[in-house]
Chains A and B, each alone.
Chain A
Amino acid sequence: MKPKLQTFLFWIVLVGVLILFFASNRNESARVVPFGMLESQVQTGDVRSVEIEGKRIRFRSHGRWYEVHGELTEPLLLELQDIGVEPKYGSFSSDSMFDGSRGIVTIFVISVVIFAVLYFIAKMRAGTGGMDLVKLTKSRAQDATGHNKVTFEDVGGCHEAKELLGDVIDFLKAPQRWTKLGVRLPRGILLEGPPGSGKTHLARAVAGETGAKFYVVAASEFVELFVGVGASRVRDMFETAAKNAPSIIFIDEIDAIGRRRGSGLGGSHDEREQTLNQLLVCMDGFQHDARVVVIAATNRPDILDKALLRAGRFDRRIKMPPLTRADRADILKIHTGKKPLGPDVSVQTVADWTDGMCGADLESLANEAALLAVRRARHESSEPVLRQQDFRDALKPRNEQTRLFDQLDSVLIESTSQLSEPTGRAVVRLQLRDGSSVEGNVLWADATFIKIARTDGSSLLVPKIQVLRLEAAAGTESVARDNVSEDRWSRGRADLG
């Protein structure tokens, strides 16, 4: 029912009942009439009841009360008794305001009370249960089969990944070729790489190329406030995938749920751990479907649970390698393919300039250059054409400082959030640009400062700009670990020189 209509009806009903109730008394106040009327009414036998209070007599006739002043005479009394009316002596009961329409009103009141109670019960239940409970446990995986027009050709670089994924796609398309040699399909493929290296992009390409069903979900979509929801969503997802086998599931940012179990600050990560356990079981538990392949992407492979990474689950780990010059050229060609390039543009030269940048950076570089070209064209009122100078200009704002801080921040975050002792603090060693060095506990860090508490109790505020090198000395996971891998992004050190 429309809210306005509901409101209107509400008021009408409420006010109506109110008026009905209180006005029903309106005619109830006894009307004073001449004594003769009592006599005539008694004679016609219309008097139903009589009440007497002192010198006032009230009688009820034709559904109304009347009042006369005087006294009942003997003949009148006899006549009343003839018609079966016994006069009552005492204070008037008809002073009560409620009569007649009382029945209707009572029914109304009772139904309202019942309605109100039911309404509040329903609201209480809805308040704690939230949405429909059945829907809550359905997996949030989206079916992205053939969704995109992205193919492998649109992904530059990462050849090893493309090869393996190409194999997977082919296996799912035509398994005989592979099963003839007894090749088992890899159950899980983990794409590792820093942000922007093209992991999700590659997944989109797989979705575009494969003939099998492709499901995509972000790991954080499993977790909800209620414990157990994550696990049931995982189950639901695998069930759907198995039902529609062969199929590929892509779990993005798997480090959201795949963290090492039982580590980190605080203990109550039940929900995440339950979800993770369910994932492990579904991938390689007692029952699993061989025709479901899981591809996952992460940029924190170092914190993933070892059980997730063992052979039989995510045993194929593909690193998205830092881009070579040739890779960058390929990617740039892809991104500038649809843009009108001037004759002086050399993709190779731009590839030279962009050492260290990843795929996403290159894409935004091409975009920036195009933007500058359009701006210039507007000023000169000519056709927009990309020139080499546009790329040069687009590279200028690349602020070295922000990149450096990212590295610094990632080490700091790692050190303060992955403490090996839950109540310990991370000890870092900072080397500043002026040659001095600071060592102490990290109290806090924000965008531009780090606060260190030295061993002598004093605290020092260090601007990040002045930091040359930061080394995690104690109290963090990466220091507690025995083997520190050689990856650029999982070392507990940030070299900013």
Chain B
Amino acid sequence: MDGDDFLQRFMLFIPVLLSLTVHEWAHAFAAYKLGDDTAKLLGRLSLNPLVHMDPIGTFLLPLMGVPFGWAKPVPFNPLRLKGVSMRTGILIVAAAGPISNAVIAIASFAALKVFLSQPDVLGEGGMFLLMFLFQVNVALCLFNLIPIPPLDGSKIVDGLIPDVARPAWEKFCQLGPILLMGLILAPLLLHFSPISWAIQHFIELFPW
């Protein structure tokens, strides 16, 4: 079954790749709509997965079985934003990514609900695929919403935080990358993944 296992993993890599592509595209699109065409000029405003692929985050991790990854970050120049303040602009562009994943998650959830009553239309495999798509997008959405730099969530918080709390926030941000490393490596050390746990519980909250 080893061949089968690898084959399945490879197949499941495709939804991850496509979800990541949509995520990065959403960032570029939001930026473009707000006036910054840096990403577009560099060819990143495209749904072409090749454009956003990153050797480690897009290939290595998913193929190792890790149910997420990352794509090359979209270049963004906040100085080129028109009509919004820089902070709000960064907030919107950063939020666009997780929102796109949320949309896909909700859509697949809806589809799942519809087809749960008639599983034979899609078959076992089809349902499995939908479920996986749902999980991946929930995972991507939640993960990116974590308010630790350099994740999108931190940029969102940055745009919302009141000036009173700024200094504390900045201090927190400095620890950011280390915290993130810890969060990612936790499964290895503690045999427990806080990320997976959180995602599982979140999924359970859905109106199945």
Contact = CB atoms under 8 A, between A and B. Distances in A.
Is B a genuine binding partner of A?
A: yes
A10 B15 contact: no
B10 A14 contact: no
B198 interface: no
B46 A3 contact: yes
A22 B126 contact: yes
Contacts of B17: 14
B103 interface: no
Contacts of A120: 55
Interface stretch (B86-94, B117-125, B177-185): B117-125
B3 to A, nearest CB: 8
B129 interface: yes
A97 B120 CA distance: 14
A106 B48 CA distance: 23
Contacts of A28: 123-124
A105 B15 contact: no
A14 B124 contact: no
B43 interface: yes
Contacts of A29: 120, 123-124
B204 interface: no
B59 interface: yes
Contacts, number: 77
Contact of B123 (A10, A15, A26, A102): A26
Interface string B119-163: 010111110110000000000000000000000000000000000
B125 A26 contact: yes
Contacts of A18: 11, 14-15, 129
Given A17-B14, A18-B15, A120-B55, A109 B7 contact: yes
Contact of B46 (A7, A102, A119): A7
A11 B18 contact: yes
B2 interface: no
A135 B65 CA distance: 44
A23 B126 contact: yes
A389 interface: no
Interface string B1-23: 10110011011001101100000
Interface in B95-111: none
A116 B55 CA distance: 10
A195 B1 CA distance: 77
B176 interface: no
A83 B7 CA distance: 34
Nearest to A6: B48
Interface residues of A, number: 31
Given A10-B49, A18-B15, A23 B43 contact: no
A27 interface: yes
Contact of A109 (B10, B125, B126): B10
A116 B14 CA distance: 13
B34 interface: no
A10 B7 contact: no
Interface string A1-23: 00110110011001101110111
Contact of A10 (B11, B48, B59, B125): B48
Contact of A14 (B8, B18, B55, B59): B18
Contacts of B8: 97-98
A7 B126 contact: no
B116 interface: no
Nearest to A95: B124
A438 to B, nearest CB: 41
B7 A105 contact: yes
B50 interface: yes
A23 B48 contact: no
B195 interface: no
A116 B124 contact: no
A25 interface: yes
B61 interface: no
B126 to A, nearest CB: 6
Contacts of A25: 123-125
A96 B128 CA distance: 13
Contacts of B59: 116
A26 B125 CA distance: 6
B45 to A, nearest CB: 10
B132 to A, nearest CB: 9
A24 B126 CA distance: 9
A281 B47 CA distance: 54
Contacts of A3: 43, 46, 48
Contact of A98 (B4, B15, B47, B126): B4
Given A14-B14, A21-B125, 11 more contacts: A10-B50, A14-B49, A19-B129, A22-B11, A22-B125, A23-B123, A26-B126, A29-B123, A97-B8, A98-B4, A119-B50
19 contacts: A7-B47, A7-B48, A10-B49, A11-B18, A15-B18, A17-B11, A18-B11, A24-B125, A25-B124, A26-B123, A26-B126, A28-B123, A28-B124, A29-B120, A105-B11, A106-B7, A109-B10, A109-B11, A119-B50
Interface of B: 1, 3-4, 7-8, 10-11, 14-15, 17-18, 43, 46-50, 55, 59, 120, 122-126, 128-129
**In the complex, the 7 A-B pairs of residues with the closest C-beta atoms, listed nearest first:** A26-B123, A22-B125, A25-B125, A7-B48, A22-B129, A21-B11, A7-B47
Interface of A: 3-4, 6-7, 10-11, 14-15, 17-19, 21-29, 96-98, 102, 105-106, 109, 113, 116, 119-120
